[in-house]
Amino acid sequence: PIEELAYWQKTIINKARIATKPVITATQMLQSMIDNPLPTRAEAVDVANAVFDGTDAIMLSGESASGKYPIKAVQQMAKIVLFTEPKVEVVRIDHTPQNQTELLVHGVMAMLDSSQHPGIDKIVVFTESGYTARVLSSLRLKKPIIAVCRFPYIVEQLSISYGIDPFYMELPKGSCQVSLPNPIFTHMKKRGLIKTGEKILVIHGRKWQEEGKTNTLAIVDVV
């Protein structure tokens, strides 16, 4: 029933976050822009509410596929999101950590929430399957998250997860070392992902190319 729609949208978004699954809100979000250059007030509010609900992504379909104003529709949606997102205080999910990775990530959240945290600018997570990055995303942390992965298809999947800037990079085999100087961070600096003077929190496993073994936090000052 139509009267239940808003409730179920919020419920599904929340359940997807708990399950660490990216959630896309779509269908008729700017429907009137198929024929008109501006959305209705209700449509603009609908897009903003999806952001307030904590969705990972919003999507156009008919508006951009067959509408008269596809570029304006994309621009209008982007404007609404860019205005709304900085003003959102997303409600944290009520979820008990179920494994080592989730426990570690919840520790990161507690550290960043603390008044004693060491001024972290960005989070860099090295991930094989994308799971650790998605757990970080589900918590809606207020820090940029750079997810480094050696699999292009995982990088593509992570591109719609909230707060994630995925980065493809070939990683060496063997023990994981994040101390400086490090060619990995040098390459990331050249690409503009991290900058000299930033303090980054690095999350990784004991070895490169080892899935499901995230167990280490390191704070690195970029030089």
Question: Within the chain, which residue ranges are assigned CATH 3.40.1380.20?
Answer: 100-221
Indicate the pTM of the whole model.
0.82
Cα 183 to chain centroid, rounded: 25
- The span from the CA of 148 to the CA of 34, in Å, is 38
Query: For residue 180, what pLDDT is reported?
Result: 59
Phi, psi at residue 24, to the nearest 5°? Answer: -110, 130
Q: What is the pLDDT of residue 125?
A: 92
Q: Is pLDDT of 209 > 60? A: no
Chain centre distance of CA 69: 29
Mean of pLDDT values over 133-153: 90
For 78-90, the pLDDT digits (tens) are 999 999 999 988 7
The set of long-range contacts for 143-152, using a CB threshold of 8 Å and a minimum separation of 24, is 143/112, 143/201, 146/122, 146/188, 146/193, 146/194, 148/124, 148/184, 148/188, 150/209
Q: Residue 1 — very low, low, confident or very high, per pLDDT cuts 50/70/90?
A: confident
Query: What pLDDT, in 10s, does the model give residues 90-106?
Result: 777 777 777 888 888 88
DSSP notation for 69-111: -HHHHHHHHHHHHHHHGGG--PPPP-----SHHHHHHHHHHHH
CATH code given to domain 100-221: 3.40.1380.20
Residue carrying structure tokens 């490090």: 182
pLDDT at 108: 81
